Structure 1
């Protein structure tokens, strides 16, 4: 388990500062309270435009709270959340979502009694019936997640865990998004399903202009997908930089995660 760490910029994090114009999302000094509990303690986080940023850290470090704070589900008690340089932390969750931000929670949030088709239709703001869904967009999603086409009229609650996760991501992408927040997509999935999910997320990055912030505990997934990385501990970001630097430097892995990524290869 990772020990609580002081907030010190590593050499990798400090090497190339990002200009604000390069950032899709940034958090500045964000604190979040949930009832009597102080969860986030001044989070500073940069998510570059058009890249996939991994948010890593032990259980309880504040990763899910960070995503929920960005979405306004748990409002920031202090600090700023900026989307393309514009503050959004005082907006309601529906207003934040209207700015083309989609959130895939850890529990996936699908409607089990509805079909795959109906789940996607609910997420498509521009369509009122299945016939009004963007067929070109659907074909693209079916290319990423073929099982969704196969089980189009199947109750979502009867899908496998991996298929439910793919539906959750497809629902978030049924319309073009500028920012996608995903919370632990590989959790509870079999290794073969995780590999399929990784390939689908890689293709999503290649074929769209969506910026992705992804929370993950599986370090093989993090290694395969991440371009940038931020590591959290005790409600703060304690390291940020290029994912490649963290992968190549075992001392950084030990310092910030308490493990070696090499051990997970």
Structure 2
């Protein structure tokens, strides 16, 4: 267990976030526990991606705070989050198609501030979790399938050996079987390393299988929270959308 006084690893408190003067989130609270997989579901435009970006320091809230391990973050940006054990896999993979996988990983080392002496060991560790990545390590990312690109994106996020992963719709463009293949290693890693994971997902059925808790968003507000079992009934889910 962490020595932190807080039982929450990552918190958003009273977050107000908008674009061009239009609020997407207003006074939004969210909490992610240590060693917890939290699934965030909701219709398109509910503000799910905006919330993840705000928590990771990619968009600045106009008010509210992000807390990490029981302390408010004063200068929130993605580099700070990376350095403090939080990694994000963005929606749409965020991969440059013209670069080789090796070059993408080198960029990942740089972004996460990993010392050259540690880089090979980190890479080998990622290959253990996602052996497929080793197979196409020297290929250009643009030549890979959607599932392979998603593995690269995840592998890059894992280079920093994060204690917390923010996953923004990892199933987009993937066949259900491929998504299962991806979630298997993530869940195993989460259990082994006691990671905290916040996953935004449209493929609710698969996401519920690995989640400890579910929150539902609608129009920038949290409308329901509960255990995965409460959401396994499709009709209940449909009513929320």
Same fold (TM > 0.5): yes
* TM-score in terms of structure 1 length: 0.81
Question: 1:26, CA displacement in angstroms?
Answer: 1.3
Is 1:253–2:207 an aligned residue pair? no
Structure-2 separation of matches of 1:254 and 1:150: 41
Question: 1:145, CA displacement in angstroms?
Answer: 1.8
For 1:155-174, what aligned pairs fall within 5 Å after superposition? 155-174=140-159
Structure-2 separation of matches of 1:112 and 1:89: 35
Structure-2 separation of matches of 1:71 and 1:89: 13
Question: Which of structures 1 and 2 has the bigger CA Rg?
Answer: 1
What is the aligned partner in structure 1 of residue 223 from structure 2?
Answer: 238
What is the aligned partner in structure 2 of residue 188 from structure 1?
Answer: 173
What is the aligned partner in structure 1 of residue 119 from structure 2?
Answer: 133
| RMSD across aligned positions (CA) | 2.1
Structure-2 separation of matches of 1:251 and 1:149: 42
> Deviation digits for residues 88-128 of structure 1, max 9, x if unmatched?
26423322332221111102112222221221122122244
How many residue pairs match? The answer is 235
8 A contact 1:76–1:89 mirrored in 2: no
Structure-1 separation of matches of 2:134 and 2:234: 42
8 A contact 2:39–2:208 mirrored in 1: no
> Deviation digits for residues 132-163 of structure 1, max 9, x if unmatched?
5243x433322332221111111122111001
Give structure 2 stretches of 5+ with no counterpart: none
What is the aligned partner in structure 2 of residue 228 from structure 1?
Answer: 213
8 A contact 2:35–2:194 mirrored in 1: yes
Change (3 A) 1:26 1:195: same
Give structure 1 stretches of 5+ with no counterpart: 1-19, 259-265
What is the aligned partner in structure 2 of residue 101 from structure 1?
Answer: 86
Structure-1 separation of matches of 2:79 and 2:176: 35
Structure-2 separation of matches of 1:226 and 1:31: 26
For 1:42-191, what aligned pairs fall within 5 Å after superposition? 42-88=27-73, 90-124=75-109, 125-128=113-116, 132-135=118-121, 137-191=122-176
Change (3 A) 1:66 1:254: same
8 A contact 1:108–1:164 mirrored in 2: yes
Structure-1 separation of matches of 2:58 and 2:201: 20
Question: 1:230, CA displacement in angstroms?
Answer: 1.1
Partner SS state of residue 97, structure 2: coil
Structure-1 separation of matches of 2:156 and 2:47: 25
Moved more, 202-211 or 53-62: 202-211
